């Protein structure tokens, strides 16, 4: 008999669709996903790929407002949605929305186990409202289990006193096949794409929001400090938008081979992955960093800060990339110089990156969620 599972999550993120599709294909899970909104236009420019959805879902009516660093999202219809589907288990993707608390209250009333999907880490500086943060331990105590993407989030929960037996791992995943195949296609006609986009023969790539917290200024300083651009062979490409764009452009104006490509949807992003020589993720705080999964699926070596939630899981120092302490611009510059100077090593590391991503597929992530859901005792 299938276990009826409801997942409550914020938006229809493109990287979640393959995971939920894989979960819905299982013969022991009856999946329904409740999205609190289609997207967050204040933060994301992703397309909503509804035509790729192969699972049961609904989007609640919502009202959203951002005030400074604080984010308010209110919904209507959460209780009705849960009553209609009548789940055996609920996976709640967070605790900082009113809908999360409504979900928890409904579950406790109807004796339905709740699994909290946690991606936070000890290095994650995104902290929400003080009141909400103070209620976090209480929310956790009312949950019957937890789902994490990797080691950093696992340890984060252990620091809260959560037993290891209550924590299940569903490795964070992207559509690895999509990015791998697109990158290979691009490399088959690299000269044409490189000329069209006016890219240098070799370049380091960053993809993500252009905000100081992503370490984008560290990357620029590291690149310029070693004179990598002076050879005219090595460039630096930023893909993404954000409030730091203007200042980055001003600082980079006197230097050659630094390009700001703007936001790119996944198809265009795969072009940059396919043409890049290495991917740099110098973040100061990030719960995971799915762009690293994408870059690795495209056979890129990685230079990553230790503040990235995925660093401990995805990047093995000197095997498929290099790690450095967040904010250590000098060390970052040295690693970039080393990477630029050894083509054979880059290729070996890129191959290892692709090898590692085979353990981070949508199917493996879905299996982790299913294992957590199926482990729960269902009230009679």
Give the whole-angstrom CA distance, residue 191 versus residue 201.
9
Degrees to nearest 5, angle at CA 3 with 141 and 39:
70
- pLDDT number for residue 124: 75
- For residue 1, pLDDT beyond 90: no
Sorted by where each starts, the structural domains of the chain and their CATH numbers stand as 3-173+361-374 (3.40.50.2000), 176-357 (3.40.50.2000)
Answer with the residue of higher pLDDT: 126 or 95. 95
Report which of 119, 71, 125 is spatially closest to residue 98, judged by C-alpha positions. 71
SS3 72: strand
Q: Please give the pLDDT value at position 131.
A: 67
For residue 239, give the 3-state DSSP assignment: strand
Mean pLDDT over the full length of the chain: 94
Q: Between 68 and 149, where is the model more confident?
A: 149
Other beta carbons within 10 angstroms of residue 66's beta carbon come to: 12
Q: Tell me: pLDDT of 380 over 70.
A: no
Cα 178 off chain centre by: 16
Residue 133 has pLDDT above 90, yes or no: no
The yes-or-no verdict on residue 70 having pLDDT over 80 is no
Give the residue from 21, 23, 129 showing the smallest Cα distance to 372.
Answer: 23
What are the distances in angstroms from CA 84 to CA 20, 21, 35, 58? Answer: 20, 21, 15, 12
Q: At 115, is the pLDDT very low, low, confident or very high (cuts 50, 70, 90)?
A: very high
Structure confidence by residue, pLDDT tens digits, 211-238: 999 999 999 999 998 766 555 689 999 9
The residue among 178, 173, 171 whose CA lies nearest residue 52 is 178
Please state the separation of Cα 68 from the chain's center in Å: 23
């Amino acid at each position: 008999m299938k276990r009826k599972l409801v997942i409550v999550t914020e938006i229809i993120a493109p990287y979640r669709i393959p995971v939920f599709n894989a979960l819905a294909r299982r013969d022991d899970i009856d999946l329904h996903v409740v999205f609190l909104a289609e997207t967050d236009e204040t933060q994301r420019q992703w397309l909503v790929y509804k035509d790729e959805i192969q699972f049961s879902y609904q989007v609640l009516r919502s009202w959203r407002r951002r005030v400074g660093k604080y984010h308010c999202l209110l919904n209507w219809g959460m209780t009705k949605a849960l009553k209609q589907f009548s789940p055996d288990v609920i996976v709640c993707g967070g605790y900082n929305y009113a809908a999360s608390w409504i979900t928890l209250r409904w579950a406790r009333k109807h004796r339905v186990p709740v699994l909290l999907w946690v991606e936070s880490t000890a290095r994650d500086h995104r902290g929400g409202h003080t009141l909400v943060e103070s209620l976090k331990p209480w929310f956790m105590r009312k949950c019957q289990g937890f789902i994490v993407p990797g080691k950093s989030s696992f340890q984060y929960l252990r620091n809260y006193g959560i037993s290891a037996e209550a924590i299940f791992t569903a490795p964070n995943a992207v559509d690895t096949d999509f990015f791998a195949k697109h990158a290979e296609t691009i490399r088959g006609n690299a000269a044409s794409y490189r000329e069209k986009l006016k890219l240098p023969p070799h370049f380091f790539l960053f993809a993500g929001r252009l905000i100081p917290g992503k370490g984008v200024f560290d990357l620029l300083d590291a690149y310029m400090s070693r004179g990598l651009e002076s050879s005219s062979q090595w460039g630096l490409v930023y893909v993404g938008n954000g409030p730091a764009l203007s200042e980055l452009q001003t600082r980079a104006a006197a230097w050659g081979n630094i390009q700001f490509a703007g936001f790119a949807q996944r198809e265009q992003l795969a072009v940059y992955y396919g043409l890049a020589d290495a991917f740099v993720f110098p973040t100061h705080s990030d719960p995971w960093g799915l762009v690293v999964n994408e870059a690795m699926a495209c056979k890129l070596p990685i230079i990553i800060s230790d503040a990235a939630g995925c660093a401990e899981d995805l990047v093995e120092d000197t095997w498929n990339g290099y790690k450095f302490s967040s904010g250590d611009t000098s060390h970052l510059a040295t690693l970039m110089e080393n990477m630029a100077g050894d083509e054979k090593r880059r290729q070996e590391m890129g191959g290892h990156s692709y090898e590692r991503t085979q353990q981070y597929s949508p199917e493996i992530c879905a299996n982790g969620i299913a294992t957590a859901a199926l482990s729960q005792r269902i009230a009679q």
